[in-house]
């Protein structure tokens, strides 16, 4: 029995067992990391060979034949002896490639594989996130258009305010997400390669390899960068690329987390009012004790993960702040946690949000009922203006409305009854000249201004161009939500 349960006797991250996609998990896996190290050693050897170093095609082919078959047990044993992860993998790779052993890692420092691998992973992770983010935007835009003219109570200070529309409120969420897309796309587009810089970033070891030929060292840097799929490298580095790069990316992810938390908090508030709900599966259980409940667990999950994501920005900022001179190693353990968890958390948020955005349910009758409780108060200024146009005195009308409003308010607050202000207006002979207009005065659609037009303009001018930018890469369907 103990053997059967061995997998459950150690810590496992919920991000890998419950939340994040398999694709994003693979990016931060040991297999991907260490096979990328081997690919970088091969790229370095190819570039060095092309510039005249004594490296053979046979050595390169030998390395290429062992990119994926990593002996993790042997690497762990080596690291236990050397206390150095890169050298452990150099030794293991060299044993698998005896012909190439002399030229593996030639002229490089640990950060050649470590930092360059991280940059490759960051680039691919951003490439994975962006189509999911735009997929959420696309789904929400369709929702916003569908409900662009459905009036609903607006809220300021969490108190009923002037009416807006369901679609207009959704457009506010989309606008924040578009800002996140812009920030993450900028991170991706601005990302560069560390390249081959040597132990403190001076390229001294490579200058020695090429007998002082500075032009060849520069060409080596450019060639490896191109082979790795980057257009540019950082012109200057210490031993590492600046941890400011990590901070910019994690900050953008944390900002996405804030957006997700705000949106999903709104959804939870609206669910409590029974105006709008996230998807709820036929066999889903809302509560172990209260069978009737339909808890917004997806939105709650997003808020929980988003809070964790938001906190990671401080880790990245502090890591940058304490990188003394050309580098210190107190970034290593922190970055192993921060970078992976930032992307895995963001990925999990977007997967869940995509699921939510595909199945939002609106309850117009509930919204209508809630409007009916507040609209009479909001319409008082319109009633006054209509009476003035009919020949009434504004001050007299204002006092009449004030008294009737307080009476109706007392019915609501003290007696728990419905708002009867309209009935009180109808029953007062003073308002006889405008009774025929009350229906139009109280039409909720006359209180939403240009909300519907704003949604159409926003989607056409700002949303659709971004969706088109991603073409068929946009992720519009999510797999079944994990546990």
Q: In this predicted structure, what is the pLDDT of residue 408? A: 85
Instruction: Provide the pLDDT confidence category of residue 401 given band limits of 50, 70 and 90.
Output: confident
How far, in Å, CA of 31 to CA of 412, rounded? 64
Q: In this predicted structure, what is the pLDDT of residue 4? A: 63
Give helix 166-190 / helix 110-146 axis angle, nearest 10°.
Answer: 160
How far, in Å, CA of 312 to CA of 440, rounded? 52
For residues 160-165, give the mean pLDDT. 92
Name the most confidently modeled range: 70-74, 158-162, 218-222, 443-447. Answer: 218-222
For residues 162-171, give the mean pLDDT. 96
Give the model confidence (pLDDT) of 302-352 as tens digits: 999 999 999 999 999 999 999 999 999 988 999 999 999 999 999 999 999
CA distances from 149 to 142, 453, 454, 464, 466 (A): 13, 9, 10, 19, 24
- Token couple for 416: 């728990």
Q: In this predicted structure, what is the pLDDT of residue 377? A: 79
Q: In this predicted structure, what is the pLDDT of residue 281? A: 60
Q: In this predicted structure, what is the pLDDT of residue 201? A: 93
Phi, psi for 155 (deg, rounded to 5): -135, 135
Q: In this predicted structure, what is the pLDDT of residue 301? A: 95
Q: In this predicted structure, what is the pLDDT of residue 3? A: 61
How far, in Å, CA of 154 to CA of 462, rounded? 23
For residues 158-171, give the mean pLDDT. 94
How far, in Å, CA of 450 to CA of 434, rounded? 26
How far, in Å, CA of 339 to CA of 345, rounded? 10
CA distances from 91 to 86, 94, 262, 359, 462 (A): 9, 5, 50, 53, 53
Of the listed ranges 140-144, 173-177, 236-240, the least confidently predicted one is 236-240
Give the model confidence (pLDDT) of 114-140 as tens digits: 999 999 999 999 999 999 999 999 999
Q: In this predicted structure, what is the pLDDT of residue 446? A: 86
For residues 47-74, give the mean pLDDT. 95
Identify whether the C-beta of residue 217 lies closer than 8 Å to the C-beta of residue 207: yes
Catalytic residue among 157, 272, 288, 415: 157
Residue 5 has pLDDT above 80, yes or no: no
Q: In this predicted structure, what is the pLDDT of residue 288? A: 47
Q: In the annotation, is 398 catalytic?
A: no
Token pair 């809220």 in the structure block, residue: 155
Give helix 72-82 / helix 85-96 axis angle, nearest 10°.
Answer: 130
Q: In this predicted structure, what is the pLDDT of residue 82? A: 87
For residues 150-174, give the mean pLDDT. 95
Judge: domain 115-280+295-363, CATH 1.20.200.10: yes
How far, in Å, CA of 62 to CA of 462, rounded? 51
Q: Specify the pTM.
A: 0.90
Q: In the annotation, is 29 catalytic?
A: no
Of the listed ranges 118-127, 224-233, 354-363, 435-444, the least confidently predicted one is 435-444
Give the model confidence (pLDDT) of 419-469 as tens digits: 888 888 888 888 888 888 888 888 888 889 999 999 999 999 999 999 999
Q: In this predicted structure, what is the pLDDT of residue 143? A: 97
Give the model confidence (pLDDT) of 244-257 as tens digits: 999 999 999 999 99
Q: In this predicted structure, what is the pLDDT of residue 241? A: 94
What mean pLDDT value characterizes the chain? 91
- Token couple for 363: 């309850």
Domain ranges of the chain: 115-280+295-363, 366-446
How far, in Å, CA of 275 to CA of 159, rounded? 16
Identify whether the C-beta of residue 383 lies closer than 8 Å to the C-beta of residue 404: no
Catalytic residue among 50, 287, 332, 440: 287
Correct CATH for 366-446 of 3.40.50.150, 1.10.40.30, 2.130.10.10, 3.90.1570.10? 1.10.40.30
Matching CATH topology for 115-280+295-363 and 366-446? no
Residue 285 has pLDDT above 60, yes or no: no
Instruction: Provide the pLDDT confidence category of residue 481 given band limits of 50, 70 and 90.
Output: low
How far, in Å, CA of 293 to CA of 370, rounded? 21
Residue 177 has pLDDT above 90, yes or no: yes
Residue 169 has pLDDT above 70, yes or no: yes
Residue 483 has pLDDT above 80, yes or no: no
């Amino acid at each position: 029995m103990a053997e059967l349960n061995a997998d459950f006797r150690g810590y496992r991250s919920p991000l890998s067992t419950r939340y994040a996609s398999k694709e994003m998990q693979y990016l931060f896996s040991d297999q991907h990391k260490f096979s990328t190290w081997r690919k970088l050693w091969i790229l370095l050897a190819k570039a060095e060979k092309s510039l005249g170093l004594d490296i053979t095609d046979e050595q390169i082919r030998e390395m290429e034949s062992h990119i994926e078959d990593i002996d993790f047990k042997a690497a762990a044993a080596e690291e236990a002896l050397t206390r150095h992860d890169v050298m452990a993998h150099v030794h293991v790779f060299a044993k698998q490639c005896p012909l190439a052993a002399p030229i593996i890692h030639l002229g490089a420092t640990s950060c050649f594989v470590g930092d360059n691998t991280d940059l490759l992973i960051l680039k691919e992770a951003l490439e994975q996130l962006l189509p999911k983010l735009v997929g959420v935007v696309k789904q929400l835009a369709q929702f916003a258009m569908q409900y662009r003219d459905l009036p609903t109570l607006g809220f300021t200070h969490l108190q009923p305010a002037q009416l807006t529309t369901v679609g207009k409120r959704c457009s506010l969420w989309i606008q924040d997400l578009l800002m996140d897309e812009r920030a993450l796309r900028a991170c991706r587009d601005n990302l560069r390669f560390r390249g081959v810089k040597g132990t403190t970033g001076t390229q001294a070891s490579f200058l020695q390899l090429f007998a002082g030929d500075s032009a060849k060292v520069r060409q080596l840097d450019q060639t490896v960068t191109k082979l790795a799929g980057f257009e540019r490298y950082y012109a200057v580095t210490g031993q590492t690329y600046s941890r400011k790069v990590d901070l910019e990316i994690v900050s953008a992810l944390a900002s996405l987390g804030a957006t997700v938390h705000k949106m999903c908090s709104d959804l939870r508030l609206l669910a409590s009012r029974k105006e709008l709900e996230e998807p709820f599966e036929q066999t889903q259980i809302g509560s172990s004790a209260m069978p009737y409940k339909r808890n917004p667990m997806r939105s709650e999950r997003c808020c929980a993960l988003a809070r964790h994501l938001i906190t990671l920005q401080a880790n990245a900022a502090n890591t940058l702040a304490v990188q003394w001179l050309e580098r210190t190693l107190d970034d290593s353990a922190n970055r192993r946690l921060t970078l992976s968890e930032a992307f895995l958390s963001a990925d999990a948020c977007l997967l869940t949000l995509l699921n939510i955005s595909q199945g939002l349910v609106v309850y117009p009758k509930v919204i209508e009922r809630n409007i009916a409780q507040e609209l009479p108060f909001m319409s008082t200024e319109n009633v006054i203006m209509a009476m003035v146009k009919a020949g009434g005195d504004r001050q007299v009308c204002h006092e009449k409305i004030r008294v009737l409003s307080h009476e109706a308010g007392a019915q609501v607050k003290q007696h728990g009854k419905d708002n009867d202000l309209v009935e009180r207006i109808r029953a007062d002979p003073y308002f006889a000249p405008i009774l025929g207009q009350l229906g139009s005065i109280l039409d909720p659609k006359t209180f939403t201004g240009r909300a519907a037009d704003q949604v159409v303009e926003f989607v056409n001018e700002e949303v659709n161009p971004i969706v088109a930018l991603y073409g068929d890469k946009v992720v519009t369907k999510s797999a079944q939500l994990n546990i």
